[in-house]
A and B are shown apart, each in its own frame.
Chain A
Amino acid sequence: MTPAQQEGQRRLEALRRRAHRIRVWVAGAAIAVFLAMFATVYVQMAAGHDPALAGSPATAVISAATTDDDTGAEVESTAGADSSASSSQVAPMTTQQS
């Protein structure tokens, strides 16, 4: 192997090692990012704040009350509400004029 070939091989190996380090770093970073995102979502879900159920801006105009449950009331889940940790242990509340 000529000196030029030896130098070329050395550079290739260096490049390979560098590429390997990059692959390891990228894989590690990807795992880290995934774990961070998963942990965030997990904590949010565990705390009862499901991002998928977060409200979106919308206005529903109803000219007459429609009903869809046993209370005879329409159900709306976008008004600053969190529906991921509901419990039958707690009683419903009524807001009304006083």
Chain B
Amino acid sequence: MTEAGDTFACFGAKAGVRVLGDAEEATAAQAVRDARDTLLDLHARFTRFDPGSELSRLNADPRESVRVSTMMALFAEAVVSVAAYTGGLVDATLLGAIERAGYRSDLRGSVPLPLAIGLAPPRRPARPRPSAAWEAIGVDRLTHTITRPPGVGLDSGGLAKGLFADVLGEHLAGHASFAVDCAGDLLLGGRDGIVRRIDVADPFGGPVRHTFPLASGGVATSGIGRRSWLDADGRPAHHLLDPSTGRPAFTGIVQVTAIAPTALEAEVRSKAALLSGPERAEAWLPDGGVVVFDDASHVVVAAAASSAAA
């Protein structure tokens, strides 16, 4: 049995799908093709860099209530759930702040991480906004209608990638093994419980930082090393904002990899851990993970006894 796979440009980076074994509904090769088409379609609908995308049209819509696609409604629900779960720390309604910080187009380059760390302000944990916009978002599951105060925009960011990986995973579960890679956010699974090696990339560009085996579950990595820039005042900036200030967060952590039962949860945990700072990061990693600090050291957090992703 040979694994079918494909890697392609998506989400402003590389995405990939690998499937081993045929299922009732599709061969492995067909499943890979379908998954690729689905991801590319979702990217086109959820990118905020295309004014014609469904997300851009929703964000620009002046009406308070807007009917959307099933997936967009699901995403909006995820935005609210994630914010509630993290107490507002992971907040996908900071669209205005991220654009004011300078992230208005699909940034491919980045400031060298050691330079950004050297120029960064004093480290402090991120905090939620006192008055959070996400609390005012409502989603009607029956009519697929999103209600929010005018001007509140949603940033698809990493949450959408985790969600997409989980949705694809539902379709691929009948195959012996599968792996969905939404630009670094992974979902593994399959009927045979086959273990795959997971490599954690080094944020400083060195060799693989850590390796662990996983049969099923989500893995996500968040960090400040990619999609970073220097603002008009020469200050280092990146896409992970401190909700309380609307400015890029420098907490003393440069990258977190989180393991969780789903890719969306892994994405949320990795972001929350990074934003929480070194003192509280580990609490967000009950299924394990890897935390890399400003000084390039790292901690491997093992799964708690009462929790297991796989």
Contacts and interface: CB of A to CB of B under 8 A. Distances in A.
Interface in A72-98: 72-87, 89-98
B195 interface: yes
Interface in A39-75: 47-49, 54-65, 67, 69, 71-75
A59 B301 contact: yes
Nearest to A64: B297
A6 B207 CA distance: 88
Contacts of B297: 62-64
Interface in B257-310: 257, 259, 282, 287-289, 296-305, 307-310
Secondary structure type dominating chain A contacts? loop
A71 B302 CA distance: 21
A96 B207 contact: no
Contacts of A75: 211-212
Interface in B223-245: 223-227
B73 to A, nearest CB: 25
A59 B282 contact: yes
A80 B203 contact: no
Using C-beta atoms within 8 Å of the partner chain, give the interface range for chain A: 35 or more
Contacts of A89: 1-3, 20, 177, 194
Given A78-B302, A79-B302, A98-B184, A85 B310 contact: no
A95 B184 contact: yes
Contact of B226 (A56, A69, A84, A98): A98
A87 to B, nearest CB: 5
Contacts of A47: 193
Contact of B213 (A54, A58, A81): A81
A34 to B, nearest CB: 25
B220 interface: yes
A71 B3 contact: no
Interface stretch (B5-13, B38-46, B48-56): B5-13
A15 B301 CA distance: 60
Contacts of B219: 93, 95
Contact of A92 (B199, B220, B225, B226): B199
Nearest to B215: A82
A90 B196 contact: yes
B260 to A, nearest CB: 8
Nearest to A57: B305
A97 B196 contact: no
Contacts of B16: 93
A79 B301 contact: yes
A95 B206 contact: no
Contacts of B213: 77, 81-83, 86
A67 B207 contact: yes
A93 B5 CA distance: 12
B214 A82 contact: yes
A95 B300 contact: no
Interface string A16-53: 00000000000000000000000000000001110000
Interface of A: 47-49, 54-65, 67, 69, 71-87, 89-98
13 contacts: A56-B302, A62-B298, A79-B212, A79-B259, A79-B309, A81-B212, A82-B195, A82-B310, A87-B177, A90-B196, A91-B18, A92-B196, A97-B226
Given A81-B212, A96-B221, 19 more contacts: A48-B215, A49-B193, A55-B308, A59-B299, A59-B300, A65-B202, A67-B207, A73-B210, A76-B300, A80-B259, A89-B20, A89-B177, A93-B179, A95-B185, A95-B201, A95-B221, A97-B225, A97-B255, A98-B13
